[in-house]
Structures are given as structure tokens and as C-alpha cells.
A and B are shown apart, each in its own frame.
Chain A
Amino acid sequence: MNKTKKTLKPFELLNYHMDLKIDILQFLFKFPRFLNGFLFFLRPIYLKKETAWNKRFRWLFLVLGAGKADTLELKAMSHALYAVTDNFFEVKAAKKNREKIVWVEWILNPEICEAFDLVSFNPEVLNVFANSKGMEYPPMIIEAAENQGTPIENCSAQKLAVGSLILEQIPKPSLILGGSHPCDTSISIYQTLEYLTGAPSYIMDFPYWKDEDSYRYYEKNTWELLSFLKKETGKDVDWDKLKTLLDRVNQINNYLREICEMSRAKPCPSSNSLLALAWAIREVNLRSPHMLSMVKAMHQLVRKRYEKGEGVVKKEKLRILLWFPPIPFFFYYFKWMEENFGAVIVADFIGYVSTVHIDTSSKETMIRDLAISQMHLAMGRQCHGPMEFITDEMLKLIDEYEPDCMIFSGHNGCKHGWAGLKIIQDICRGKDLPVLYLNLDIMDKRHTSEEEIKKQTITFFKSHGWA
């Protein structure tokens, strides 16, 4: 742990996203053709694997599409980057000015903080974004948490929050908003975080079912949260601000839902990597107007292809359903399959959007629908409840998206998923759907590396005559 501490200065990973290179990148986004050419030209030095000297840029270059992204895709990513860095700057300023910072657990979106004009921060943020400095950072942070006693079996995504706190990579919270979903790790780690930081917490108790009683209970939790924030901050709810944000959230969800709908077309006009990215940006800074701009650009791109009957790859050979969370350290997995095998992930666990419309006509409807829509956010909606919450959606997507196969990204942390594996297997067998069962840690490349994932995928494709 001491060794790890020496290698990271306080807030080094957040600061990494707030310096000149980000400005340069944002500048380059204005010249997408040039940016693509640049990324394409440099491919030989970073595409295949991470090395000691390409590690500072490889992950980011791959996320940017490695020189093959559409102009609109780059536009979407530019907004994504703004949304993330804006939040980091806000947090930095809040820290400096001693303003309150509210940690919001990653499956709870920060809409309510907008109503109180409070700075929100997602403590799990480095599970994705630490990779931009080098893929060794997430494991390093995880190790710091484990070395202090965080259970090894906890989900690495949340061990990252503990590790980031221990290594002083994230600002301490004034308040914490945690939830009893999506899994035991969350239940456990949010107690740890409250203990370590001493910050008062409010726990949103996520109901097991999705029925009227459950929705009402969650709605009451949301009202109680408002009282908690009022009490802790001395501020009052700014309903107009909340309405403005929720109207925008409705637009965001509409665009995303339409993209999901269009993805059913053959060939599939959308790369699901963008939908997965949108989920991550939503976690970090749904409040930023850039989030809407991002999904607008995505929508424009997919719509353009859809109307022309074009796919995301020239010749779509294989349609894949990715079930369970995507792999942040190998985010390029989507595009790697597209490029090398004409294999397109047409739907996935995280990117698929099924939130409800929020009626913003009154305070009551806003809180009611906000609560319900939170219960439909990806990961939370599937993982917390009976197995049908996972399998019914999986079946729906199998029927609607007609995949040729499924990849089960079996994340170590998701023990509730592993406990239902037989059910998933039986359903897929019944549907005659070939499945690749990966056993990995989505945040920790030490468990199953990028090379290993590629190898297993190729073997799977070959065994079915797809490669």
C-alpha cells in the first residue's frame, strides 16, 4: 500500500483530466477528420496491446475509435468529455471554496442535487476514467482497498471507491447518497464509506419488486431524501431547477430509447459502445447540458445510418447480445469485434434504456416519476430482485434484436448473477442460442486480461464457424 501511495500524488488521477492535454483534445475534436487521421496513423503503436510507453494514451485512443470513428461519434465523445471534466472542475472548485460535495452512488443519478444546487460526485468514477492514464491504475486502486481489508470478493467497481478515498484520489464528501442496490457489495461498501468519511448518509432503500407498493415506497424514500438534504444543507428545493433538469432528462431518455429501438434493424446502425459510454457519463454528470448534446449527436448518427439502411459495419456477419456489464479496461471490445469479425453487439445490459417518462407538471409527479425512473436504471433494475428481472429482459432482447449468440460477461463481483447462471444457461439452450461464458473482473485486468478475452472470443467464434 505504501508503495502504491508513493506512486500517486493526491488527486493525480482527477487532475489528469483537467490539464492542457484535455484542452488540446477538445480543440482536436473540432477537426474530426484530422483527429481520425492522426489516430489512424498511430494505430501500429497502440492498437494491439498496452506497453510501457503507450499506456498513457492507448485506452483513450481506443475509446475514441482508433481512427475509425464517425465524425458524429467524435462529436458525441467531445460532449462526453466536457460533461466529465466539467464535473471534475466543479468538484475542485467546491473543495477549494469549502462548499458541500455530495457523493452519489453510481446507480443513483444526481438529479436531486440539482434541485439543491449542490455539487455531486460519483465516487466510483475512476472505475472507468482511471484507465485514461493507464490501465494499471484501477488495479492499483483496488489493491489499496484490499490491502486495508476491503473484502476481496467485493465488486471491484466499488472497491475502487474505497481505494480512491484511501489514496486521496477523490475529494471527501460532506454528504453521501447511497442505495441498497444493485447488490451486496453496495450494501456493504456504503457502510464502509460512511464509516471512513464520517459523512452523514441517506440510504435509498431499493425495493425488491417493481409493483405499485414498491414504487410508492421508493417515492417516499425520495421525499425523505429531500428532507434529509434540506436539514443537512439548510437549503430549500428549487423546483424550477429540478423541472428544467428533468425535462432535459426526458429528452435524453427519449433519444437513447430511440437509438435502442433503431438498433433492432438489420444491419444494426449503432455501436453499443456509445450507449454503454452514455450510461457511464450519466453516472458522472447527467446534470451537464453536454449529456443531452452527446445523446443528440449519437441519435443523429444512428438515425442517419438507419435511414440509409446502413450498419455500423459494412457487412454485418454476427449479431451479439452482451449480457452483464461491459468491460471498462477493454472498452474497445465492441469495436474490436466489429472490425475483425463484422460482429456487432446489438444490445447490452448497461446500454439498453428502459426508463419511464417523468411528468414534470407538478412537484408530486416529478418526485413520483423520478423515483420510478431511478428504479429502471440499468444494473439496478436487473440485479436487484428476482432472477426474472435479468432473464425477462434478456429474453425480450433475444426476441427483439435477434442475436446470433450471446456473450455473458461474468463479472466476479456479480455473485447474484453467477447464482442464476443455470437459469440463464437453460433459457439460452431452450432458445438454441450459443453463449460464450466469460469469467472476468470487469475492472481488473489482472483477473482475465484483454488478450485472454480476445483469445476466448476467437475460439468461440471459430467453434461456431464465424471466424
Chain B
Amino acid sequence: MDFLDTIKEKASSDGNADLNAFSQRGKKIIGYFCSYFPEEIIHAAGMIPYRMRATGKSDTTKGDIFFSSLNCTFVRRCFDKALNQHFDFLDGIIFLNGCDHTRRLYDNWRHADIKPDFRYMFVAPHKIGRLAEERFSEEMVNLKTAVENAFDLVITDDALRRSIHLYNKKRQLIAALYRERLKESVPIKGSELLSIMLTITMMPVEDAISLLETVIEKIDGRKTHKEGDLRVFMGGGCVEEIAHLELIESVGASIVADNLCLGYRHADMLCDESMDPFLSLARRYLNHFSCPRMMNDFRRRLDFLHTVKKEAAIDAFIFEKLKFCDLWGGEMYLCRQESRKHNYPILLLERELYGGSTGQIRTRIQAFFEQVRNQSYTPSELVVSAGNNYKAVMGGITREEKDHS
């Protein structure tokens, strides 16, 4: 089996086997949500941060008892897994006010009284700036204290600095992988990178670093795309299905850049190792490439579209959201308006996590790629949805409109 296949296999599970082994050796594992969470603090406490996910066998049957059909499938699936004891290996879980749906995980987890006992809400500001940084660094200190109290341990500044150093190293390696994708010959697929991200966010950072080093070594000289594949940018929130990205790639795309929760944000910005560790963490996590939950940073995200278009020679943008996700829905609106101004080809896709409909999705992406190749841009529907209960509304730029302009 190829090295990357092994990673993919791990990534497709929820990591139980490896993590159980760690547990047996007395290592504590702390689940967390969101890329605004500072893993360093957990690592400095001698524990393993585990990014929560909906992978593995689960549906939404039990999750739907607590959440409604108006909530996104990421939280419904995660909660379903929790109710089915898939997260029993966790010693603690830390929630984040990422969005309205994920913040209710904290409430429902407590209400259903699911293991583990240590459940903590870590709060990230919704804006960037001096005030927010100050507040966020206080929040970092509060988290440290909460972990210390819950597990009866001490997190020293030195340990935290060491963790910051290691995580910076991890970031640099991820960034190196991202740089490789800018090349004309792309040595790693988007789907493969997603597998790697899923894997390294459920293992000790030391192991993640050596895994990344091996990946960089092994992909040297590799070419993953066919002649004529389009170079695609992927934007979207909780995208964790490797098969979904594989599907996009299979119809003629090479995914070379992204703004995914499990993507570029993990590579962007290092922590300043020379300053107060809490302020440094606050600064890095608040100012890294943002997600649409950050209100006063959308211009930077839109500017990124232009930069990345040039740097990564993007042929087409695909943005997608899970149904009922307000935040990514709004982001798609902005990106569409901006792309329209600049005549960038963009496809907006709406779907359910692990929701199937692969036939529909394939057809839509194929049709879009066809249009891009024929230089006719945005599909006539605004948001094409996989599944049924959503109306697709008219109004995109058609070839005729483009010709007129």
C-alpha cells in the first residue's frame, strides 16, 4: 500500500485505534472544534489535542433528536457520534463559538450528559484588532487555568514556548506543502492533503511533524494531474470528505489552493516565539487567514482571491457550504459578487455532509468545468444544491451577458 493510502485510511477513521493506544499509555486526549483553537495549550499540558470530526460510520438519527433539520449536517453527525459513544476515548472536550450550530454542541453535550466530564467553552472574538487580541489572550490564560484545574497539573511558560515552537514547525511544513501546490506540476492532490490534515490533527504534533517531513520527501518529483486539468481553488467550511474532493478531481481538476477549515488556515502565520506566549497565541490565531465568522476581515479574504488567482494560476473557484450554514452562505455571496466584478469563473455548491448525491454533484461540476473551458463563466444558477429542498435562484453571468458587457 502506498504511503499516502495508509494516511488516507487513517484519515477516514476517527482515529480510535491509535488514540486508544495512547490512552492506554496514560496520555490524555482532548477533543476540540474549530481552527481558532490553540492546540499548543493542550500539548503543553502533556495531552493530545484531537480535532473533532464526523468521519466514520454514523448518520444523524440520534443527533436529530437534539438538533433540528435546520441545523447543519456537520454538527448533527458529530453529535450522533457522541451519542453513539464514538468519542468515549476523549478525556475532555473543548467547544468554540465558531457558529450558531457548533456553539449549541456545548449545550446539548451537557444536556445529554455525554462523556467526557471536562467540557469547556473557549470563546473567540468575532473581529480582529487590538481589543480583540487583548481579550483573546485573556481567554487563552483562562483556558490554561481551566485545564490545569481540571487535570491537576501545571502548564509552565517554558512548556508552552516549546509547544509553540513545535506547532510553528508543523505550520512551516504544511506551508511548504502548500507552496509545492503552486508549481506547474502539482505533486500532491487536494484530496491527499485533506487526508494528511485529518490525520495530523489527531496525533501528537511530534508525530505530525515527522509524517509531514516524510510526505514532503516522498512527493518530490511527483505529478498528480492530467493534461488539461483545471487548477481549482476550493473554499468552504467543514469539508472533511476525502471522497468529495476526489470526485472533483476525477472530473478534471487539480485542487491547488483553498480556504477550508482543515486547510490553508493551518499553514498561515507563525506564532511570534519572542513575545509573551499567550499574546502570541492570541495574535496568531486571531489574525491567521480568517473564516467568515470574522466580521471585519472579509476584505482580506476577498483580496486573497485575487492574490491566489495569480500565484496559483487558478482557472476556477469552487465554493461550497453545508445547508443552513449562514456564515459560508454569506461568504459565497461576497465571493460571487467579487468574482463577478472580475469575471472569475465560480461555482457555488450547497450540499449535506456525507449526503451522497454524487451523481448530481459530478454532473454540476462537469458542466461548470465545461463552461470554464469554453470561457463561459458562472453557471446560470446562483447556488446549485445537491439534494432537494432548496430552490436554486437565477441570476448568474451567462455567456450572453458576458458578451454584452
- Listed in ascending order, the chain A residues whose CB lies under 8 Å from chain B are 1, 146-155, 178, 180, 183-185, 187-192, 194-196, 201, 203, 205-209, 213, 217, 220-221, 224, 386-388, 412, 415-416, 418-423, 426
Contacts and interface: CB of A to CB of B under 8 A. Distances in A.
Interface string B377-405: 00000110000001101110000000000
A150 B333 contact: yes
B395 A147 contact: yes
A423 B104 CA distance: 10
Contacts of A189: 330
Contacts of A415: 68, 70-71, 100-101, 324, 326
Given A191-B292, A419-B108, A217 B334 contact: no
A203 B299 CA distance: 14
Nearest to A386: B107
B66 interface: yes
Contact of A180 (B66, B295, B302, B336): B295
B108 A422 contact: yes
Given A192-B330, A203-B127, A415-B324, 16 more contacts: A1-B395, A148-B395, A150-B333, A154-B329, A180-B295, A188-B330, A189-B330, A195-B337, A203-B295, A208-B103, A208-B121, A220-B131, A224-B131, A415-B70, A420-B104, A423-B107
A197 to B, nearest CB: 12
Contacts of A412: 70
A184 B327 contact: yes
A154 B127 contact: no
A419 B336 CA distance: 29
B243 interface: no
Contacts of B295: 178, 180, 187, 190-191, 203, 205
Contacts, number: 153
Contact of A416 (B103, B126, B325, B327): B103
Interface residues on B, range: 35 or more
Nearest to B391: A152
Contact of B100 (A1, A150, A419, A422): A419
Lowest 9 A-B CB distances belong to which pairs? Answer: A151-B329, A188-B330, A419-B104, A180-B126, A387-B107, A184-B326, A416-B100, A418-B68, A208-B123
B298 interface: yes
A135 B125 CA distance: 38
Contacts of A180: 125-127, 295
Contacts of B127: 180, 203, 205
B29 interface: no
Nearest to B302: A195
A152 B390 contact: yes
B329 A153 contact: yes
Contacts of B324: 153, 415
28 contacts: A147-B394, A149-B333, A149-B336, A149-B383, A149-B393, A154-B329, A180-B295, A187-B293, A187-B327, A187-B330, A188-B327, A191-B334, A195-B298, A195-B302, A203-B295, A205-B135, A208-B121, A208-B123, A386-B106, A387-B111, A388-B107, A412-B70, A415-B68, A416-B101, A419-B71, A419-B101, A419-B107, A426-B111
Contacts of B292: 187-188, 191
Interface string B73-111: 001000000000000000000000101110110111001
A395 to B, nearest CB: 14
Contacts of A191: 292, 295, 298, 330, 334
Nearest to B333: A149
B123 A203 contact: no
B330 A416 contact: no
A450 B67 CA distance: 27
B296 interface: yes
A418 B393 CA distance: 26
B344 to A, nearest CB: 15
B69 to A, nearest CB: 8
A431 B390 CA distance: 37
B65 interface: yes
A155 B324 CA distance: 11
A419 B67 contact: yes
A146 B108 contact: no
Nearest to A145: B333
A149 B337 contact: yes
A415 B71 CA distance: 6
A1 B292 CA distance: 27
Contacts of B383: 149, 151
Contact of B66 (A150, A205, A422): A422
A426 B68 CA distance: 15
Interface string B241-258: 000000000000000000
Given A149-B383, A195-B337, A422-B111, A203 B126 contact: yes
Contacts of A187: 126, 292-293, 295, 326-327, 330
Contacts of B311: none
A192 B66 CA distance: 31
Nearest to A194: B298
A388 to B, nearest CB: 8
Contacts of B10: none
B138 interface: yes
A220 B325 CA distance: 30
Interface in B281-299: 292-293, 295-296, 298
B41 interface: no
Contacts of A426: 111
A5 to B, nearest CB: 13
Contacts of B65: 422
Nearest to A191: B298
Contacts of A150: 333
A416 B333 CA distance: 22
Contact of B132 (A178, A184, A205): A205
Nearest to B392: A152
Contacts of A155: 326
B171 interface: no
B77 to A, nearest CB: 14
A388 B99 CA distance: 17
Nearest to B67: A419
A148 B334 CA distance: 11
Given A191-B298, A201-B296, A217-B131, A151 B121 contact: no
A196 B336 CA distance: 12
From B75, B107, B325, B390, name the one whose CB has the most chain A CB atoms within 10 angstroms.
B107
A205 B108 contact: no
B266 interface: no
A421 B391 contact: no
B385 to A, nearest CB: 10
A147 B102 CA distance: 28
Nearest to A206: B126
Given A189-B330, A422-B108, A422-B111, A207 B101 contact: no
Contacts of A213: 135, 138
Contacts of A149: 332-333, 336-337, 382-383, 393, 395
B51 interface: no
A176 to B, nearest CB: 11
Nearest to B124: A208
Nearest to B135: A217
Nearest to A208: B123
B28 interface: no
Interface string B334-360: 101100000000000000000000000
A188 B329 contact: yes
Nearest to A204: B127
